A and B are shown apart, each in its own frame.
Chain A
Amino acid sequence: MFDINWATLLLQSAPLIIAVCGETISERVGVVNLSLDGSMLISAMTGFVAAYLTGSALVGFLAAAAVGAFFAFMVSFGSLALRQSQVAVGFVLTLLGDSLSAFLGQDFTRLPGPWVTKLPIPLLKDIPVIGPIFFNQDPMVYFALLLVAASYWWIFHSRPGLELRSAGERPEAAFARGVRVRRLRYLYSMLGGALVGVAGAAYSLDVKIGWAEGLTRGYGWIALAVVIFGGWSPLRGALGVLLLVGVRAWIGIYLQPAAGGADSTVVILNALPWLLMLAVLLVVSGKLTGDLVANAPPWLKRPLARLLLVAPPAALGADLKEN
């Protein structure tokens, strides 16, 4: 079971980790950007087309980040300025992002284009075991790892991070204490959206090089579920992504020789992310787990609850009444 190529695993997890961090930041400040699936598709398409036309992957990433931020802006503007449901705006943008990416990218499908190349880090890459896994990678992987560390520290251990969380937990109280809730919500949700855009481009310029209709379809929803599984923490969310991608890779390796017919393997592998989604959400937000924790021996209650149960930011998705 240790035949897994850890370096590949990390590379394949990087885009989802970035998207999960982005959405975690956005939800921590109180904005659910439900449009993830659509914004990832349109930014994957935009990123590839921009990189293809300019010949620069960096331009591609910047364009993708801009598109992602714009989608997030529409969600937060709809909610903060026009008092519409974040879920409704996000859902409409999910479908719109999907069909826009198909239409605008129609002349750019299955073309060879620029992509991200490896950037081995001298000295560090020669460390046994961890060198090849962590330091002989794409810039995308370094970015994802740094992002997890930085966003975790920012959210939970910095002064501005405290304000960020207060805007998502007790916006009225935060406003009364002088936190500019509205401004923070715009700022962090757009930052989160930009990261989601980078995640989309990470697929079309790195992990699944090139653009094809529906390239990342489904990943946005998985990222949204991982944010919940991760208890709105970038660190735990990143571990969730690694677990998901890892389990899928492991089952793939395990099933390939075991099941002679390829059909059933494909069915199981396709169904797996969705079954896992149901299973982990059942565990972390489930009433069943609550009963389990309640009936656990007293000394086990707290650690078990910390491990298994999560709670969303209290004012997630709620209307802002600061005036």
Chain B
Amino acid sequence: MKPAGWLERIWPSLPILAALLLTSLLLIAFGTSPAVAFGAILEGVFSTPERMLTALAFWIPLALASVGLLVTFQAGLWNIGIEGQFILGALGASWVALSFQLPAPLQITLEILAGMVGGALWAGVVALFKRWGVHEIFGGLALNNLAIILTNFLIAGPWQPPEGGSFRGTVPFREDALLPLLGSTRFSPLSLLLAALAFGLVVLALRNSAWGLRLKALGHNPRSAFLLGVSSNREALLAMLFCGALAGLGGAVRVLSWFDSLRQSISGGIGYLALMVVILAAFRLYLTPLVALFFASVLSGSIVLQLRTQLHSSLGDILTGVMVLFVLLFGDFGRVRSLFKRKDQEDV
């Protein structure tokens, strides 16, 4: 076995370059210069401190959901229901914000707890259905859609603003019910602290606890984990509740800092994005928040791209999506190389 040399070394960057190339071709086909488009994205993220803080504010809920997914993936679960768990977090926080009038520290603590409970509750339902034999992908997906329908129902019904009319959102919450923001941005330093705490908790759970090891056993081989006495039902439920609570925290942060009221598309797919983040990060613990930051930058910069070029805002999703696809398919040098080897030489 001789080392494959330079090709192997530069290989991981090739799928990313290919994704940039494909997106550039798409831009050219739509009559936009890639330099202008990517320039606009960069400008949208880095040109002013406010914009950088906006990207950071977008990053925090996404990072919370992404690191939560590390726990469910460790247990071998496809928690596609994270989108609904995120939304339920926003609903829980909104319920407290609309129903109670407490001093700010108490109010915010209660909102955040309600968000975590909401997310965990929705995750618990998926786990319950899983226990009854319904695969978590389908249980989660149904609950995602039910969460969206529930949100729309609340906005149009019980939580409708007194003056009525608006189907777009509830009344803005009181100042004391919102996370304190930095200047005129959407960034709340408190949410950064919460995200750091959550990440620390995930690192502890996955790296330094017996529970993390049991989850790993379960994720790698549910059958042998069962034979070893790891109860798959209980571990799966705990992993789901853990992830649901973090996603719920993300939803609470989103509604209390990015927005100031409950909106129709309160999540807008952040849960699904979190799944993409974790796949691109190849389920690696320390890489996940960084990939989430990359996603948050591209998508937050795409807003300027849309203003500048009038192109559909989904371009940022396409760039990140193609990147995830290429890295997933072609990122592993060994597997791609085996494609070009003759069958008889291969001995796996």
Cβ–Cβ contact B142 & A277, under 8 A:
yes
Note all chain B residues with C-beta closer than 8 A to A299: none
Name B270-327 residues within 8 Å CB distance of A. Answer: 272, 275-276, 279, 311-312, 314-315, 317-318, 321-322, 324-325
The answer to whether the Cβ of B80 comes within 8 Å of any Cβ in the partner chain is yes
Q: A87-B137, A282-B132 are in contact. Are A82 and B332 (CB under 8 A)?
A: yes
Contact across chains for A88 and B279 when beta carbons are under 8 A apart: yes
Contact B312 A278 (CB under 8 A): no
B11 to chain A, nearest CB (A): 14
Does B26 count as interface, using CB distance less than 8 angstroms? yes
Contact A96 B318 (CB under 8 A): yes
**Nearest opposing residue in chain B for A34, CB measure:** B137
Bound-state CA distance A99–B141 (Å) is 18
Q: Any chain A CB within 8 A of the CB of B330?
A: yes
* Candidate in B26, B129, B141, B339 with the most chain A CB atoms within 10 angstroms: B141
Residue of B nearest to A89 (CB): B328
Query: In the complex, which residues of chain B have a beta carbon less than 8 angstroms from the beta carbon of A270?
Result: 149
Complex contact A267–B332 (CB within 8 A): no
Are the C-beta atoms of B312 and A103 separated by less than 8 Å? yes
Which residues of B lie under 8 Å from residue A112 when comparing CB positions?
A: none
Grouping DSSP codes into helix (H, G, I), strand (E, B) and loop, the A interface class, with mixed when no group exceeds half, is helix
Identity of the chain A residue whose Cβ is nearest the Cβ of B318 in the assembled complex:
A99
Distance in angstroms from A295 CB to nearest chain B CB is: 16
Closest partner residue, chain B, to A269 (CB atom): B149
Contact of B336 among A82, A96, A271 (CB under 8 A): A82
Q: Which residue, of B78, B133, B279, has the highest number of chain A Cβ atoms within 10 A?
A: B133
A292 CA / B46 CA spacing, docked (Å): 61
| Structural contact, A102 and B330, CB atoms closer than 8 A | no
Q: Which of A274-295 contact B (CB under 8 A)?
A: 274-275, 277-278, 281-282, 285-288, 290
A103 to B139, CA, bound (A): 29
* Chain A residues whose C-beta falls within 8 Å of the C-beta of B332 in the assembled complex: 82
- A78–B328 touching, CB < 8 Å: yes
CA distance A89 to B142 in the complex (A): 21
Check B26–A103 contact: CB distance below 8 A: yes
Q: Which of A119-127, A151-159, A217-225, A244-252 contacts B (4 or more CB under 8 A)?
A: A217-225
Given A99-B317, A286-B132, A288-B132: A228 in contact with B138 (beta carbons within 8 A): yes
Please tell me if the beta carbons of B146 and A78 are within 8 angstroms of each other in the complex: no
Asked if B329 lies at the interface with its beta carbon under 8 angstroms from chain A, I say: yes
Contact for A81 among B157, B317, B322, B339, CB less than 8 A: B339
Q: Which residue of B lies closest to A281 (CB)?
A: B134
CA distance A106 to B312 in the complex (A): 7
Given known contacts A82-B332, A82-B335, A102-B314, is B146 in contact with A271 (CB within 8 Å)? Answer: yes
Cβ contacts under 8 Å, B141 to chain A: 221, 274, 277
Residues on A with C-beta less than 8 A from B157 are 263
Task: Tell yes or no: B100 within 8 A of A by CB.
Answer: no
- Are A96 and B329 touching (Cβ within 8 A)? no
A296 at the interface (CB under 8 A from B): no
Q: Report if A83 contacts B (CB, 8 A).
A: yes
B window 93-139: CB within 8 A of A: 129, 131-135, 137-139
Interface size class of B (residues with CB under 8 A): 35 or more
Q: Is the CB of B317 within 8 A of A95?
A: yes
Q: A100-B318, A287-B133 are in contact. Are A275 and B146 (CB under 8 A)?
A: yes
B343 / chain A contacts, CB cutoff of 8 Å:
323
Which among B149, B335, B346 has the greatest number of chain A C-beta atoms within 10 A? B149
Q: Does B156 contact A (CB under 8 A)?
A: yes
Say yes or no: A92 contacts B314, CB within 8 Å. Answer: no
A93 to B156, CA, bound (A): 33
Q: Mark B63-81, 1 if CB is under 8 A from A, else 0.
A: 0000000000000001010
Chain B residue at minimum C-beta to C-beta distance from A78: B329
**A219-247 Cβ-contact flags toward B at 8 Å (1 or 0):** 00100110010000000000000000000
Tell whether A74 is near chain B: CB-to-CB under 8 Å: yes
Query: Using Cβ atoms and an 8 Å threshold, which residues of chain A touch B336?
Result: 82
**Which B residues lie within 8 Å of A34 (CB)?**
137
Beta-carbon contact of B321 and A96 below 8 Å:
yes
Assess the B80–A89 pair: CB atoms within 8 A.
no
Interface flag for B145 (CB, 8 Å): yes
**Which chain A positions have C-beta within 8 A of B312?**
102-103, 106
**A77 vs chain B, min Cβ distance (A):** 8
Q: Which residues of A contact B226 (CB under 8 A)?
A: none
Q: How far is the CB of A226 from chain B (nearest CB, A)?
A: 11
24 contacts between A and B (CB under 8 A): A74-B325, A78-B328, A82-B330, A82-B339, A84-B328, A88-B279, A95-B269, A95-B272, A96-B318, A99-B314, A100-B314, A102-B314, A103-B314, A218-B145, A221-B141, A228-B138, A267-B149, A274-B142, A275-B142, A277-B141, A278-B138, A282-B134, A286-B132, A290-B133
Known: A78-B328, A95-B276, A96-B321. 6 other contacts (CB 8 A): A88-B279, A267-B153, A271-B145, A271-B149, A281-B135, A282-B134
Binding site for B on A (CB under 8 A): 34, 74, 77-78, 81-84, 87-89, 91-93, 95-96, 99-100, 102-103, 106, 218, 221, 224-225, 228, 263, 267, 270-271, 273-275, 277-278, 281-282, 285-288, 290, 323
